[in-house]
Amino acid sequence: MLFFFCLINKSLLAIIIRTIFEELEKEVISTELIQLPDVHIKPCRITQGKDRLACIGKDNCVFKDDDFYEIFEKIKEADGLILGSPVYGVDIGVYALSFVRWFMSEKPDQILSQVRLAPSKVDEQAGILLMNSKQEMATIALTLHAKQPKRGMIAYDKGYIEIYEYPRACKAVITYTEDNHQEMIECGDTKDALYYEITDMEQTILTNENVMHLDFTYDVMDMMSQIRESWGLKYPEEM
């Protein structure tokens, strides 16, 4: 008998997984659904003080004061494993909002937007205007189908910066408006973008340095929640 295990947040995806499980159980395949909001898992302590590298060479976490030990034992015993993660609302906006947050000195506290939803309720086209308490402003134009460059522009008093392929950018052009001369900056390679993200994640875990800027991630999630609410988009569990 097979055993399937799933880690998943409460979302529409949970409904999908349960539907899959129903079909598996018809074939006499045992299943178990575990949702992360329902369990208690502490942050990894492998990099902290006297516990540093404590789990190296072990087949499970050496700490048993949360739910991870038991969950990982189930993972090891399972014949199959399904991992699920929900897709956040404001589907096409997350990259642009992240881009904006990187260049604003603080999180926007005023957000206005318009959206055109596809029949599936995905945000097919959107315009978003943001401003923070320091009067810094950003304008975002997004579309799934129209052909437009993936370009971000940051404007200053004496020039502007254009960043191309901004979700996975490796090139930027600075234009100095006083004499219109340009400077090109190139760094990394677009095809290695995922590798850079993984490297940052590993460095954050090993050194506790905030190279991933998780504070920006929280800000972007908060902005997306505000925009989603203004569009009337709700997850099934919010109904």
| Mean pLDDT over the full length of the chain | 82
- Cα dihedral angle (144, 223, 98, 84), rounded to 10 degrees? -70
- The confidence band for 107, taking pLDDT boundaries of 50, 70 and 90, is very high
Task: Give the β-pairing of 110-117 and 123-131.
Answer: antiparallel
- Domains of the chain, each with CATH number or no CATH: 3-83 (no CATH), 94-238 (3.30.360.10)
Helix, strand, coil abundance in the chain, percent, nearest 5: 35, 25, 40
Of residues 58 and 131, more confidence is placed in 131
Which pLDDT score is estimated for 129? 96
**CB contact at 8 A, 113 and 129:** yes
Which residue type is seen at 171? K
Which pLDDT score is estimated for 111? 96
Of residues 239 and 37, more confidence is placed in 37
Across the range 165-186, mean pLDDT stands at 93
**CB contact at 8 A, 164 and 151:** yes
Which pLDDT score is estimated for 235? 66
Of residues 46 and 144, more confidence is placed in 144
